[in-house]
Structure 1
Amino acid sequence: MNKGERTRLEILKQSIIHSSQYGLADITIGTVSKLCNLSRTGVISHFENKEDMQIAILEYGEALFRERVIKPAWREDPLEHVISLLGNWADWTSEMFKEHQVSCPFIKAVVEFQNRPSSKVRTFTIEQQNRLLNYLTHRIDRCVEQNKLTSEVDSVAIAYELYSLYLGHAITQHTVLINASDTLFKNSVARLLKQYQV
């Protein structure tokens, strides 16, 4: 990895932490130059513009998500896999950035850019969340195929319910007793899946 690649990586590392704290919309060329002790020109040399930089940050975050959440969740039993996936997903940002008070940067970005229809960042956030929902749906499909969950309910509907539980958890985990939020979420996931078990 050459110096330019190392600098770009450091920009993305610092920016994903910052956006997990303050939101992606708060990320500007000026913000990043201060975070990384670089000149504005030094930051601009790595990205076409602010939107491209924000998308690169989300892509970097997605790569972290695959490494920290999706890959370690793998289980041979498909239902155990889904439960493990949701467990890893519950607090992945706080596990990654222990020294910071953070929340999911993807959800922050979806909310921040939802009313900006012409934004490339908004388009990317929607595609990103759809990839995640599709992945979860495929995991549910596998549970149905192996007779772990009922085929009477559409897999998309079950995945949507699990996804919605996570969204609620991501927002409320900082408004309820911190020691209780993770347990409440995991218990909710278990109850939801139990009602669909064969």
Structure 2
Amino acid sequence: MDKGSNTKLRILEEAMGFVAQHGFAQISIGKIASRMSMSRTGVISHFANKADMQIAILRHCEQVFKSQVIMPSVSSDPLQHLLNYFQNWKNWVFKYKNQPKMTCPFVKAISEFQDRDDCKVRRCIVDQQKRNLKFIASLVQKNIDAGIFSADVDPQHFSLTSYGYYLSHNINRNLIGSENADKIFMTQISTLIQYSLAEE
């Protein structure tokens, strides 16, 4: 990795921590430059504008998500693969950054851009969430194909339901501050899986 690429990666790492704490709307070239003790010119040379920087941050977050959640979840057992995914997903950003008052950057992005007019940043967020939902559905389909889940299970419905649990987990853990948030989330997932199992 050359010096320019390494600097950009460090900027994106710092920016990921910032948006997980403060959100995408609050980020600016100046704030990131200040946090990294760099000049504004030094930071802005890596991005065309604020929207370009926001998209770069989102894509960096997705790469981190793959390395922290998707790849470590892999198992030859379809059910274990699915369980691993949810176990790794529930607090992935805290395990990676471990900074106070952090929320999943994707949840931050969704809440900030869901009601905005169409724009490049919003389209990036939509595409990312579609990929995540599709990935969860693919794990569910593998369980159906293996005879672990009932053939009546709708992978898309399962995927959306589990995502709803993840969003409520973020509210319960980060806003309400429930000490049982992780346990509640995994109990919800376990119940969803139990309802999906094929009859023996």
State the match for 2:4 in structure 1: 4
> 1:2, CA displacement in angstroms?
2.2
- SS of 2:25's equivalent? helix
- Give the 5 Å matches for 1:1-198: 1-174=1-174, 175-178=176-179, 180-198=180-198
> 1:41, CA displacement in angstroms?
1.2
Distance 1:153 1:71 in 2: 25
Q: Which runs of 5+ in 2 are unaligned?
A: none
**1:111-134 deviation line (CA, Å, top 9, x unaligned):** 111222232111111110110000
Q: Which runs of 5+ in 1 are unaligned?
A: none
TM-score (norm 2): 0.95
Q: Which amino acid aligns with 1:177?
A: S
**1:87-135 deviation line (CA, Å, top 9, x unaligned):** 1000001111123331100110111112222321111111101100000
Question: Is the contact made by 1:33 and 1:40 (CA closer than 8 Å) also made in structure 2?
Answer: yes
Distance 1:100 1:76 in 2: 36
Runs of 4+ in structure 1 over 2 Å off = none
Tell me the number of residue pairs that the alignment of Structure 1 and Structure 2 aligns.
197
- SS of 2:196's equivalent? coil
Q: Which amino acid aligns with 2:34?
A: K
> 1:38, CA displacement in angstroms?
1.4
Which shows bigger deviation, 13-22 or 101-110?
Answer: 101-110
Question: What percent identity do the matched residue pairs reach?
Answer: 35
Question: Is the contact made by 2:78 and 2:139 (CA closer than 8 Å) also made in structure 1?
Answer: yes
**1:142-175 deviation line (CA, Å, top 9, x unaligned):** 0100011111131111111111111111121121
Q: Which amino acid aligns with 1:27?
A: I
Distance 2:48 2:177 in 1: 41
Distance 1:114 1:62 in 2: 18
**1:155-196 deviation line (CA, Å, top 9, x unaligned):** 111111111111111121121433x11111111100111011
TM-score (norm 1): 0.96
- SS of 2:46's equivalent? coil
Question: Is the contact made by 1:24 and 1:109 (CA closer than 8 Å) also made in structure 2?
Answer: yes
